[in-house]
Amino acid sequence: MKIWMFAAFESIIAALGLAAYFWAESIPLTAAAVVGAAALGIAQPLLAARQARRMQRYQEGVFAKSQAAVDEQVAQLLTDIIDPPLPHRPTVVAFLERYAGIDIDALLAQYDRLVKAIASKSFAAEELAAAFTDKTSGSSLGIYLCGLAALSQKHLHDAHHHFSVVTGRQPTWIAPWLGWAAAAYQLNQFEEISKRHPHVNGANLTPYDVGDEATFIGLDETVRDDLVEQFQTAARALGNYYTLAEMQLSKQRIEESQAELRKVA
């Protein structure tokens, strides 16, 4: 029964009670009217409370369905996420040849030990990455490897810092962007991903890995094809991180709205 109907019945009963008392001079009818009005007066707030509980349950159900839908889409997108890749070795060779006076074979051996440590998640990876970075004069390649080493040890703040440095230095290289997004997402820095994501800011990402266009063109065609395929896979994963961040922000807004409605209730 609607609340307004209780109010109407109360008015009618009150009128009947007055009529019974003043005109019919019937004490029993007057008493019955008083009892009826009192009963309705008690029932009205009870009904209002029941309706409020129903509305709250309905709202809770809507919120739960919304959150479940977001969680389902998040889980689906996460299946298409890849780890930030190791640098492309032929491109690394070309990159290291820039350093005059350095024993390339020894440096490549040091690089290979570092890559193996990162792949195996060895605790020595970060120390090896720091040494390689010093050897290459603080190169973008070295700092990116520092980020991979930190990420392998779940040192997310360090990884985020290293990747951020490289994206500032070499913004066309997609792998550091993917590492940055991976670290930022695990740190729940969804606002940062939403605002700084290269797809949003129009960054001109290229498939050249750590090298440049000249290095890329100098590679064999099959090697270039592999790099392009790796680039496309990384670009999809990077785009997914943006979508994931937006969905997590939506989920946060749902939870905030739910909390506000609970306060009002």
pLDDT band at 72 (very low <50, low <70, confident <90, very high): confident
Residue-level pLDDT at 260? 75
Among the CATH numbers 2.130.10.10, 3.90.25.10, 1.25.40.10, 3.40.50.1000, which is that of 89-255? Answer: 1.25.40.10
Phi, psi of 244 (to 5 degrees): -60, -45
When comparing pLDDT for 107 and 7, which is higher? 107
The encoded tokens of residue 52 equal 């409020």
Q: pLDDT tens digit string along 222-261? A: 999 999 999 999 999 999 999 999 989 988 888 787 777 7
Predicted TM-score of the model (pTM): 0.75
Whether residue 147 is predicted with pLDDT greater than 90 in this model: the reply is: yes
Mean residue pLDDT of the chain comes to 81
Per-residue model confidence (pLDDT) at position 104: 87
pLDDT digits (tens, 9 = 90+) for 181-225: 999 999 999 999 999 999 888 889 999 999 888 889 988 999 999
Percent of the chain with pLDDT over 70: 74
Domain ranges of the chain: 3-78, 89-255
pLDDT for 47 equals 52
What angle (nearest 5°) sits at the alpha carbon of residue 121, between those of residues 116 and 126? 80
Q: Which of 41-45, 52-56, 88-92 has the lowest mean pLDDT?
A: 41-45
pLDDT value at residue 53: 67
